[in-house]
Structure 1
Amino acid sequence: MSTEHLLANLGLPYSRPATPGAHSNAQVGWIGLGQMGYYMARNLAKRATPPGSQHLPLKVWNRSIEKAEKLQEQLGKELIAIAKNIEEIVLTCDVVITNLANDDVVREVYEQCARYLRLSPPVKNKIFVETSTILPRLSGELDTLVSRLAHCHYISSPVFGRPNVADKAQLLIVMAGEYRSKKEVAYLLVPSVGRKVIDLGENVEKAPTFKLLGNSMILGAVEVIAEAFTLGDKAGIEAGRINELIGEILPAPGLMGYADRMTRDHYDGVDGFSLDGGIKDASHIRHLTAKYNSPMPIIDVAHQHLVTARAIHAAQKEEGTQSLDVLDWTALIAGSRVAAGLDPFHSRKDKAVVEEA
């Protein structure tokens, strides 16, 4: 089999780095062990080792140390080392990967990293890999910040997939940035963390733009499905039947997973994609539509419904009547259900139409 076919099977658009496995024995650091980051870091720590070599334990840091301790307990000290602070990660690691909650946290962490490296400039190459979903403009700012530091490179690398996909190391990885660094990172992350890399070139703003385009398709589809479930409820069509139809005409695993949640009124965000994360992404998409004068009306509606769901949930928390602490973004169905005169989160409550036997 040719090298090109081997690369294609591995899901990598690059030849191997000039020094094969250059980072196989490097110190890799991970910042951020949230819903996605925990699984990604765990899988990276367990990555396969080339014959005759071994990799150092993954060094991790999280604001709440409990997550880091849980990961270390799960994998052992041979695979996970807990850093005392961000400074230790930055100064001792050759590759630093971040997966964080929002743009403000990302900016704060990278500014800290830059401060430490100005005081202790690195003497060899150091790669920063940002995997969160952020505004493209921020990615450009981070590239400027990191590139001004000696021997430092920045790779924008958002990922597609929910936590259950991250758990299975089946994420779709997008990359943009300096070519040689992308090759190093790609061979580090595939197949340990994801199944494939899509290369968006050297402009680091392209990768987060691409990620937001993908999320716009997913969010738009989730909104349409939510509206269909609501109309079906009003018309007396059983949710299970609608779910069956979605499997027949829209058989995408991700969409079927979201449809299944709506069918079961299962809106727990602990094991899904949080409502706040959905609002953040919808806001970022709307920012792009305004910047490029390219309207996406369905995203405007989805954003309104996400905010409606959060408002209802907040009111329930104040009353002490909420059943969940964190909502999944499929809870946006509350917007169309309330507009249709139905209970926001319970499709089996107060049926508008009696279904025929």
Structure 2
Amino acid sequence: MDHKLANLVPYSRPATPGIHSSQTIGFIGLGSMGFYMARNLAKRAIPPGVPPTPLVVWNRTIDKSQKLQNQLGKELITIAKDIDEICSCDILITNLSNDEVVKDIYGKLARVLKLSPPVKTKIFVETSTILPPLAGELDVLISGLAHSHFISCPVFGRPNVADKAQLLLVMAGDYRSKKEVAYLFVPAVGRKVVDLGENVEKAPTFKLLGNSMILGAMEVVAEAFTLGSKAGIEPERINDLIGDILPAPGLMGYADRMMRDDFNGVDGFSLEGGIKDASHVRRLTAQYGAPMPIIDIAHQRLITARAIHTAQKEEGTETLDLLDWTALIAGSRVAAGLDPFHSRKRKAVVEEA
């Protein structure tokens, strides 16, 4: 085994190195993250002399599937006409927007496979950010199918990180299935695997813990930008300070977007996704009796930003169709009497005598 890869994947290689060339892989959900994950998976390194097996993709709207096929060609991408067709794949990967969609898709997959039970091993890989109990429900559902295994594998990273195949992968579930998927995903989709054992609920819990750290840090940074604006300190100065004292690449990227008032969610993580994740974290804090006050505040900020954006849409004054979750700073700005989305539109600081 390559020594460097051994440090990134906490499992020995499967009996046959890598995924068997004859195995078919399906990918459901070509959103802002799934598109890049599927693309990189289709382009993964194949042993010399082995013809590539096309990645089978399905999305609720076919335009994204067609876009991916146009980019890579029919040799690497096959478009499934429906759920029934993609169910024939040996490994099925899902990356979906929210828990409701996840439940709906897995329910449809299970119904198809109950009518036509698998005759060989099939692995389901759920990569979305969902509530932990839902992962448990999916495990029970899939385990009830012949020869089928489920693993939970949420990912850390924005779309630009997915684009570069640098996602952090968190896995929980059937051990042998994790081994197969880990060597399929690294380095094609992500840079490293974190193993959380066989309890599939641990991986989404871990993901939500990580997102709570990110969201909490974003709220602190948003408040600092807002106070700086009120005090007459240029946002560029504050952004430089963040780089000097809190030089975390992810946080610096979010801070940079706030500084530039770049809240376009098309190439980022959507505001709705942030609200969903904050809500999930709050449910965990209630379940375990472990309060996270800063997440409560951040959740309020996100909802405020959505309300402002909705009002702008109704008035026809909005400039963006989809907001990035860094728009949570709008709540802090409005509370301080500033423009929600344009930091330069502010009153000069006036010191009272």
TM-score, normalised via structure 1 length: 0.96
Task: Say which of 183, 190, 212 aligns to 1:194.
Answer: 190
The runs of 4+ residues in structure 1 deviating greater than 4 Å are: none
AA in 1 matched with 2:41:
L
1:262 aligns with 2:258: yes
Q: Hey, what does 2:52 align to over in structure 1?
A: 55
CA contact (8 A) 1:128 1:152 kept: yes
Q: SS where residue 153 of structure 1 aligns?
A: strand
Please give the alpha-carbon distance, in whole angstroms, between the structure 2 residues aligned to 1:352 and 1:179: 60
Q: Hey, what does 1:41 align to over in structure 2?
A: 38
The equivalences for 1:187-226 within 5 A come to 187-226=183-222
1:344 aligns with 2:317: no
CA contact (8 A) 2:24 2:89 kept: yes
CA contact (8 A) 1:7 1:15 kept: no
Q: Hey, what does 2:77 align to over in structure 1?
A: 80
Q: SS where residue 46 of structure 2 aligns?
A: coil
Q: What's the Cα RMSD here?
A: 1.2
Q: 1:108 to 1:309 in 2, by over 3 A?
A: same
**In terms of mean alpha carbon deviation, does 13-22 or 268-277 score higher?**
13-22
Q: Hey, what does 2:120 align to over in structure 1?
A: 124
Task: Say which of 237, 248, 255 aligns to 1:252.
Answer: 248
Listed one character per residue, the Cα deviations across residues 218-237 of structure 1 (whole Å, up to 9, x for unaligned) are: 00000000000000000000
Please give the alpha-carbon distance, in whole angstroms, between the structure 2 residues aligned to 1:234 and 1:22: 56
The equivalences for 1:183-332 within 5 A come to 183-332=179-328
CA contact (8 A) 1:29 1:58 kept: yes
AA in 2 matched with 1:248:
D
Q: SS where residue 176 of structure 1 aligns?
A: strand
Q: Hey, what does 1:104 align to over in structure 2?
A: 100
CA contact (8 A) 2:304 2:331 kept: yes
Q: SS where residue 353 of structure 1 aligns?
A: coil
* Structure 1: runs of 5+ lacking an equivalent: none
AA in 2 matched with 1:231:
L
Q: SS where residue 171 of structure 2 aligns?
A: strand
Q: SS where residue 109 of structure 2 aligns?
A: helix
CA contact (8 A) 1:170 1:195 kept: yes
CA contact (8 A) 1:226 1:262 kept: yes
Q: Hey, what does 2:129 align to over in structure 1?
A: 133
Percent identity (aligned): 77
CA displacement at 1:55 relative to structure 2:
2.9
**In terms of mean alpha carbon deviation, does 332-341 or 19-28 score higher?**
19-28
Listed one character per residue, the Cα deviations across residues 95-148 of structure 1 (whole Å, up to 9, x for unaligned) are: 000000000000000000000010000100000000000000000000000001
Listed one character per residue, the Cα deviations across residues 13-35 of structure 1 (whole Å, up to 9, x for unaligned) are: 00000122343331000000000
AA in 2 matched with 1:54:
P
Please give the alpha-carbon distance, in whole angstroms, between the structure 1 residues aligned to 2:296 and 2:14: 43
Q: SS where residue 11 of structure 2 aligns?
A: coil
Task: Say which of 3, 6, 9 aligns to 1:8.
Answer: 6
CA contact (8 A) 1:24 1:188 kept: no
CA contact (8 A) 1:26 1:55 kept: no
Q: Hey, what does 1:162 align to over in structure 2?
A: 158
* Structure 2: runs of 5+ lacking an equivalent: none
Report the count of equivalent residues: 351
Q: SS where residue 207 of structure 2 aligns?
A: helix
Listed one character per residue, the Cα deviations across residues 189-225 of structure 1 (whole Å, up to 9, x for unaligned) are: 1100000000000000000000000000000000000
Q: 1:20 to 1:8 in 2, by over 3 A?
A: closer
Listed one character per residue, the Cα deviations across residues 72-100 of structure 1 (whole Å, up to 9, x for unaligned) are: 0000000000000111111x200000000
**In terms of mean alpha carbon deviation, does 26-35 or 45-54 score higher?**
45-54
AA in 2 matched with 1:165:
V
Q: SS where residue 74 of structure 1 aligns?
A: helix
Q: 1:212 to 1:100 in 2, by over 3 A?
A: same
CA contact (8 A) 2:52 2:75 kept: no
Q: SS where residue 322 of structure 2 aligns?
A: coil
